[in-house]
Amino acid sequence: MSRATSPEPQYLKVKNHLREGIASGHWVAGDLLPSEGALVTQFEVSRMTVNRALRELVQEGLIDRVQGVGSFVAQLHRISSTLNVRDVHEEIVERGGQHEAVLQALVRGKATPQQAAELGLKRGAPVFLSLIVHLENGVPIQCEERAVNPACAPDYLSQDFTRITPTHYLLEVAPLSEARYMIEAALPGEVEARLLGIARRDPCLVVKRITYSRGVAVTSVKLTHPGARYQLQGSFSA
């Protein structure tokens, strides 16, 4: 016997309508959004329902509300953080080193269950995949395994990532509004050990990150660093 699917709450219909309009560029930073009254009429819901949707979008930083005027798409401020968006090229140059990127793969693939969950896609949906090794003065210090939401960066596969890093490119085309992290010590997989020139028993610092722009997941990336060659340092500011 199948279980009936619960209907979507009314406030979520309003919230998702506005969120999707912002994500698609229908409304851009500074634009005045439809009034509460207009949304009440459009969705045939109560003013309280509309107010909840707007309140949650304010809490997420996607809109600003001005009493007596209306709701506006918020100005997105790029988050600056060595933990969130620091470009490995910039890190190496600041240390006085020479950065080199070796592209191992840049392909269109189908989202695995994990990638689909991380990027908010359906299983098997198109996804862009890249595998890059970053070197400092000729020594591998980072293996970057990345999946990208094609809707957020449709030209990703046409970039030359030996000249520009994926981090730099993605920040330009999809300004960062949120990042989620997991940092752990782990042993490298077979491919990572080979690309980094280390043994399978050598400990690594692994950073897993999902970044968002306007509430939409842009990319998930796994950054594997040989523990003996890399230190993670940083601060956070918005």
Query: Whole-model pTM?
Result: 0.64
Higher pLDDT, 7 or 159: 159
CA 120-122-127 angle, to 5 degrees, is 80
Q: What mean pLDDT comes out for the span 7-33?
A: 85
Distance, CA of 162 to CA of 169 (rounded, Å): 12
Instruction: Give tens-digit pLDDT for 118-151.
Output: 999 999 999 999 999 999 999 999 999 999 999 9
pLDDT tens-digit profile of 48-70? 999 999 998 888 788 888 888 89
Q: Which domains does the chain have, with CATH numbers?
A: 10-73 (1.10.10.10), 80-237 (3.40.1410.10)
Neighbours of 166 (CB within 10 A): 23
Q: What is the pLDDT of residue 14?
A: 93
Question: Where residue 82 falls among pLDDT bands split at 50, 70, 90?
Answer: very low
pLDDT at 74: 84
Confidence band, pLDDT 50/70/90 cuts, at residue 23: confident
Q: What's residue 224's pLDDT?
A: 95
The count of other CB atoms within 10 Å of the CB of residue 172 is 10
23 and 66 Cβ atoms separated by less than 8 Å: no
Write out the two tokens for 125.
């949906």
Residue 20 has pLDDT above 50, yes or no: yes
Task: Give the separation between CA 111 and CA 126, rounded to whole angstroms.
Answer: 6
Mean of per-residue pLDDT scores for the chain: 86
**Confidence (pLDDT) at 7:** 62
